[in-house]
Structure 1
Amino acid sequence: MSRYLYGASVQGIQEFIFKTNQLQEIVGASKIVKSLEVEFENISSYQKGDKNILVNAAGNIKAIFDDKKEFEDVVKEFPKKIMQKAYGITISQAVVEINGDQPTKDELNLLEQRLKIQRNKPSIPLDPHINIMELAPKTARPLVKIEKKGDDEIRMDMSTKQKYKANADNKGQLADLLNGKKKLAVIHADGNGLGQLIPKLSNTNISEFSVNLDKATRDAYEEAKKIVQDNKIRKIILDGDDMTVICNANYALEFTKIFLKKFEELTEKYTNHKLTACAGIAYCNEKYPFHYAVSLAEALCSATKKHAKAINKDLAPSSLMFHNIQSSNFQSWDKFLEDELTIQNDQETIRCDFGPYYLSQNEQPLIVDFENTVKAYRQEGSPISRLREWMGELSKSKQYSENLLDRINEMIKTNNKWKCEIMDNNLKKINPKLCNQELVIDKDGYRKTPIYDVLQILSVTEAN
């Protein structure tokens, strides 16, 4: 008897959630996206935990059908349900006939190829407009509702109306998440190695693994959240091995470190497979367009994955990168590297992206050592203000910057409030080549310095 491997990929999730800077809409949109998982269970005969549901998380669905008519009904009805519930989201579907009880690696790859073809086909929105229609000013989609809030007036398209309805009881604003420096952070984390692991699992194991992976991710988030005040963090996406949150900038680095650690521990505990994850942190202010911040966080996550896979292609070690956004928009991480993180002086080119920083990895800078270095530079008597001057000189002249660094080190040797020996040890833990006298070293095929990263964290966070 033939069996059918069904796949669905929900598109436009990030744009749907982050097309606004209103926290109530962002959280409402994330609730709608989360509810889409239930829609699949409602329209099919399967419930959560069913062995025939291989994956149902983060807009990615894979299931096996024995009944041809049932999957045909799903293919017919599921996109309509999704698009009506979340205006602006579209869905791609594909089916592969399989011969055995479980899909082979080739059959899974074929399904992904067919889904990719479907994703490239344009979709027609459910809310098209003609010139005589009034449009919501923020989205340029047809206006469906005007709501008064005191002296303010909210003009909504269908998508905005759905988001407010889904999160009607939420009173929070992005301003509530800001620290004293008016900064917050968008954090995106993603698991490693699932593409290699899932094809090795049996049908029953894939279904059970998917449920347990989701539980591990959620529990890792809850464990990491304990260091953050409840009103200073908002989870936006928390499904499968994906996490996207917005939080107060003061907590972002430590929260992410704990999440990565707990993700490793809990995936091993719940799934019997120790998984790792990579993360990107984008620091910004509340006015910065969130779709750019999310794009940067994802790009940082991808960059650290690339670096980590070069260390271990089978299972990239857990690591993170971060960036404080100072420009007006985001084009690509490579563009940031070129425009903001590359220094060209009269003798050499220096890169300021010293990361990724790793949870635990030999011969790589560790998150905990970087945190300790930041804390040391935050102490009274630290030469950090002079190191800002040094960074300025570094972009002009190698000789002048070396002379200034010599003067800085002479100054700190006579400063009893700040122990230069301790800082030497901190720097050497990040990389054995680093010390107070050597702040630019060879790393990853470039000349690099970690001081820019230290300055970034000090500029966006406050002392605890």
Structure 2
Amino acid sequence: MRVHVVVIATSGNQRFIFASNKRRENVGASHLITRVEERWLDEALLAVTGSEERHRSITGHPVEIVTANAGGITALVREPEIGRELVTRITLQALREAPGLDVCGVVGEAVEWDGLGASALAKLIRQTRGMLPAAQMSRPGPQLRFPGVPIAARCLSSGLPAAQIVQSTSRERPEPRSAPSMAKLNAFPEALDRLADEMGMSGLGKQEAHRRLARVVDWLNNKAEWVAVVHADGNGMGRVFQEFSAIVEKLGHTTAEEYVRHLRDFSQGVDDCAAEALRRVVAAMKKPDGEGRRPFRLIAGEPALLPLVLGGDDLTVVCDGSIALPFAEQYLTEFARLARENKRVGGLLRQAERQGLGACAGVAIVKRHYPFHSAVGLAEELTKEAKAVKGALGQDHCALSFHVLYESAVAELSRLREETTLPDGTRLTAQPYVVGDVTKDPHGWARHRHWNDLLRRIAALTRTDEEDGRRVLSGAQAHDLRGGLFHGRGVADARYRLLADRLGRDADDLAGEGRSLFWKVEGQALTGLLDAMNATGFLPRPERTERTEQEQPA
């Protein structure tokens, strides 16, 4: 028996979702992408095979779905015509229901299935996936599907030629909208069902869940002063998939059938870990603290956040700026713990003597009207910066980087970091910050740049006097310290020592090493003061964190 690998994938997903600053369109667009591996795939399987069953073995069924998540599908088919029909049906559905979404598929070369090994199948899947770029480049992109003519009005959301005049809500004026914008708006009601499930709101009932989520959407669209994009991504997932055949072979599973089963289980396990981590964090953010107070602002009883991308190890969330950093930290912690405990993920990797899975996140906090496609790009760059933790501590560790953008210009992380690097190479930021336990740190990479270190510095900046309630460190004093940073280490440390002599122990938590705001990692001087100042106001006020004896400044 001969089989073919079929790969179907979406591209430009972030652009498709965040091309508009309209939150209803963002929500609808994210839902349209999930239809690729959900409804459209089910309909295509039913039409081609007469059944929606996905996981029946290719030895007795014309199609077997290997993985289906994050807008992508990998399948095995016995006949190339079946593969081409799957691709045709799914891409046609995308054209009809999600104009502007880029979906492409390819059918690989035939291979003899009997006796096929795990490594050979893994190589065939990689080769077929490698055919996608050429197929994508061989036909016009989505933007060319909407040629403008002189008399056509322009969509105020996407800039494409308008298809009709609509009024999204009773508070908005009628305006021209393009076909992609209309498809996203039309998908919004159905998308709320998915959001309710992902955020653990199904028990509220459909009507109440929709009401709450609509309030959250309107808050983020019209009222929130600061809005954030949180992008999280698993560590080393690409390498794990590249070496997955070696992983299963180490366990004694060498056939293609065993490879497919383990790959599907692993992929589904990662999906489940990400989804469960999100639900747990959302539930935790709604709980009152020990004194009955709610540490996070809730809109209609829900945290002001919308998970717009949730598939595989990827998560992209739009949320109120005030909850972005605690959400990111809690999500990374939960994901790493769940991945470690999951038998199909952490258990499999431990059996194969591989490192477990951690994750990294980037948090871009911007003003509400800032172009969201730019905010998403910044969040992705911050995630890449946080990935430095893999090389320093291992892929089973977690870290996050963040930036609060006060300017309106398009932000590139390289420029932002250059602006906080002094001529002598001193960095005025200590990012990324490590989240969770650090098991081994032979070179001291994580020293003073753990999440708890950031919280301790924020506590020092926001601590108040018990008698009069005023801040121990005044705004003017903090501003003076901040200005000193840009004059060099000598000036900054001189100002800090003067302040420490006056405030005593209340200033100790700002120190790096000794009576200095700085410390060195691999010969480069860093400070966490500027990070703490930028994060103040975007984190709940923490309690005082005691230093261990080894951490006490000299």
TM-score under structure 1 length normalisation: 0.87
Corresponding position of 2:531: 453
Q: Distance in 2 between matches of 1:66 and 1:118?
A: 22
Q: Is the 8 A contact 2:9 2:72 kept in 1?
A: yes
Q: Which runs of 5+ in 1 are unaligned?
A: 428-432
Cα distance change of structure 1 residues 434 and 8 upon mapping to structure 2, 3 Å threshold: farther
3-state SS, counterpart of residue 10 of structure 2:
strand
For residues 115-264 of structure 1, the aligned pairs below 5 Å read 115-121=132-138, 123-125=140-142, 126-148=145-167, 149-150=170-171, 152-168=173-189, 171-172=214-215, 176-177=219-220, 182-198=225-241, 199-200=244-245, 201=248, 202-228=259-285, 229=298, 230-264=302-336
Q: Distance in 2 between matches of 1:178 and 1:411?
A: 46
1:59 to partner: Cα distance: 1.9
1:455 to partner: Cα distance: 0.7
- 1:382-410 superposed Cα distances (whole Å, 9 cap, x missing partner): 43632332221232355433332222111
3-state SS, counterpart of residue 321 of structure 1:
strand
Q: Which runs of 5+ in 2 are unaligned?
A: 58-63, 190-209, 249-258, 286-297, 347-355, 465-470, 543-554
Corresponding position of 1:430: none
Q: Is the 8 A contact 1:217 1:263 kept in 2?
A: yes
Does residue 309 in structure 1 map to residue 390 in structure 2? yes
1:295 to partner: Cα distance: 0.8
Cα distance change of structure 1 residues 65 and 180 upon mapping to structure 2, 3 Å threshold: closer
Does residue 366 in structure 1 map to residue 442 in structure 2? no
Q: Is the 8 A contact 1:183 1:460 kept in 2?
A: no
Does residue 324 in structure 1 map to residue 404 in structure 2? yes
Does residue 392 in structure 1 map to residue 392 in structure 2? no
Corresponding position of 2:414: 334
Amino acid at match of 1:308: V
Cα distance change of structure 1 residues 120 and 389 upon mapping to structure 2, 3 Å threshold: farther
Does residue 265 in structure 1 map to residue 337 in structure 2? yes
Q: Which shows bigger deviation, 50-59 or 236-245? A: 50-59
Q: Which of residues 510, 513, 521 is equivalent to 1:434? A: 513
1:101 to partner: Cα distance: 6.4
Corresponding position of 2:428: 352
Amino acid at match of 2:329: K
Q: Is the 8 A contact 1:49 1:208 kept in 2?
A: no
Does residue 419 in structure 1 map to residue 506 in structure 2? yes
Cα distance change of structure 1 residues 300 and 186 upon mapping to structure 2, 3 Å threshold: same
Corresponding position of 2:65: 53
3-state SS, counterpart of residue 63 of structure 1:
strand
For residues 3-82 of structure 1, the aligned pairs below 5 Å read 3-38=3-38, 39-44=40-45, 45=49, 47=53, 52-82=64-94
Q: Distance in 1 between matches of 2:68 and 2:36?
A: 9
Q: Distance in 2 between matches of 1:49 and 1:267?
A: 23
Corresponding position of 2:548: none
Q: Is the 8 A contact 1:24 1:172 kept in 2?
A: no
Cα distance change of structure 1 residues 261 and 171 upon mapping to structure 2, 3 Å threshold: closer
Q: Is the 8 A contact 2:229 2:365 kept in 1?
A: yes
Q: Distance in 2 between matches of 1:441 and 1:188?
A: 29
1:83 to partner: Cα distance: 2.7
Q: Is the 8 A contact 1:220 1:266 kept in 2?
A: yes
Q: Distance in 2 between matches of 1:329 and 1:179?
A: 21
Cα distance change of structure 1 residues 369 and 180 upon mapping to structure 2, 3 Å threshold: farther
Q: Which of residues 432, 446, 461 is equivalent to 1:377? A: 461
Q: Distance in 2 between matches of 1:190 and 1:49?
A: 27
3-state SS, counterpart of residue 393 of structure 1:
helix
- 1:244-270 superposed Cα distances (whole Å, 9 cap, x missing partner): 111222222222222112212222333
- 1:342-378 superposed Cα distances (whole Å, 9 cap, x missing partner): 234xxx3421231211122244122233223323321
Corresponding position of 1:298: 380
Q: Is the 8 A contact 1:54 1:210 kept in 2?
A: no
Cα distance change of structure 1 residues 3 and 376 upon mapping to structure 2, 3 Å threshold: same
Cα distance change of structure 1 residues 404 and 196 upon mapping to structure 2, 3 Å threshold: closer
Q: Which shows bigger deviation, 60-69 or 212-221? A: 60-69
Q: Which shows bigger deviation, 208-217 or 261-270? A: 261-270
Amino acid at match of 2:413: W
Q: Which shows bigger deviation, 396-405 or 78-87? A: 396-405
Q: Distance in 2 between matches of 1:332 and 1:21?
A: 19
Q: Distance in 2 between matches of 1:318 and 1:257?
A: 9
Amino acid at match of 1:245: V
Q: Distance in 1 between matches of 2:494 and 2:234?
A: 45
- 1:75-114 superposed Cα distances (whole Å, 9 cap, x missing partner): 3332221232212111232333344265534323322322
Corresponding position of 2:124: 107
1:459 to partner: Cα distance: 4.6
Corresponding position of 2:350: none
Q: Which of residues 422, 427, 439 is equivalent to 1:343? A: 422
Q: Is the 8 A contact 1:23 1:172 kept in 2?
A: no
Q: Distance in 2 between matches of 1:402 and 1:368?
A: 22
1:177 to partner: Cα distance: 4.3
State the percentage of identical aligned residues: 21
Q: Distance in 1 between matches of 2:55 and 2:428?
A: 46
Q: Distance in 2 between matches of 1:324 and 1:269?
A: 34
TM-score under structure 2 length normalisation: 0.74
Does residue 405 in structure 1 map to residue 501 in structure 2? no
Q: Distance in 1 between matches of 2:338 and 2:329?
A: 14
3-state SS, counterpart of residue 370 of structure 2:
coil
Corresponding position of 2:359: 277
1:451 to partner: Cα distance: 0.7
Q: Is the 8 A contact 2:422 2:488 kept in 1?
A: no
Q: Distance in 2 between matches of 1:134 and 1:392?
A: 50
Q: Once superposed, what is the RMSD of the aligned Cα atoms?
A: 2.7
> Number of paired residues?
445
Cα distance change of structure 1 residues 109 and 182 upon mapping to structure 2, 3 Å threshold: same
Q: Distance in 1 between matches of 2:186 and 2:520?
A: 54
- 1:415-434 superposed Cα distances (whole Å, 9 cap, x missing partner): xxx6345x26xx5xxxxx53
Q: Is the 8 A contact 2:22 2:157 kept in 1?
A: no
